[in-house]
Amino acid sequence: MPTAKIAPSLLSGDFSRLADECERMLGLGADYLHMDVMDGHFVPNLTLGAPIIKCLRPRTKGFLDCHLMVSRPEQWVDDFADAGADLLCFHYEATEDAAALIDKIHAKGMKAGMAIKPKTPVDVVFEFAPALDQVLIMTVEPGFGGQAFMAECMSKVSELRARFPDLDIQVDGGLAPDNIEVAARAGANVIVAGSSIFKAPSPEAVITLFRKAVEDAQPTA
């Protein structure tokens, strides 16, 4: 199983000092910086876009994990590549040609991820998984932070891990100290969390706890 990667969601950070928040999270042990990109169309909320990623890139060496919750994600690949995104994750539900989009993302020098909503069956991912760098199983409906974790989505993680043992499997939505072990045991190794990290008395302790849960759940040789 791939290594644990903890990805604080900057959606829960202080947008007035976003670069400082990125560096703070990295200093506390984060591996990825998760950027929630929402267009007000594919999801009802509206957040940051490529211009903000471009401003952040010179201010951080962190891995910018950009989750596009947008319609027609194809139109934004060039902009995010130029902005300095490291990984571009699109929604299966938002594109008509996922294979071509994966190729386009890779051609621009970025890693490619695919996300699915809670009601989307996991088998839609199988044909694309060999070409993907990461699959994101949403554990809440995309569009807003602070929602409750949907444990029923863990069967998707388990099935995906069984079929693709070396794949980075990300979970996003409501992850917290009281449910991280469920996600880790299912096979998730990339953990996105917003409120449970940023609002914790000790964000560093939460990041450490998440990492230990994933590592403890990994099979021993």
Query: Was 146 annotated as part of a binding site?
Result: yes
Choose the catalytic residue: 36, 39, 65, 86: 36
Name the pLDDT band for 155 (thresholds 50, 70, 90): very high
Percent of the chain with pLDDT over 70: 98
Residue 116: band (very low, low, confident or very high) from pLDDT cuts 50, 70, 90? very high
pLDDT above 90 covers a percentage of the chain that reads 90
What local confidence, expressed as pLDDT, does residue 219 receive?
80
Residue 90 marked ligand-binding: no
**In the predicted model, is pLDDT for residue 221 greater than 60?**
no
Owner of token pair 């045991």: 185
- Whether 36 sits among the annotated catalytic residues: the reply is yes
Distances (CA, A) of 16 to 13, 49, 181, 204: 9, 15, 33, 21
pTM of the model: 0.96
Asked about 65 being catalytic, the answer comes back as no
pLDDT-based confidence at 145, cuts 50/70/90? low
CA-based nearest residue to 101, from 77, 135, 129, 70: 77
Cα dist. 145→28, 42, 172, 183, 196 in Å?
A: 21, 15, 10, 18, 11
Sign of CA dihedral 164, 148, 8, 182: negative
Given a cut of 60, is residue 163 above it in pLDDT? Answer: yes
Domains with residue ranges and CATH for the chain:
5-217 (3.20.20.70)
194 in a labelled binding site: yes
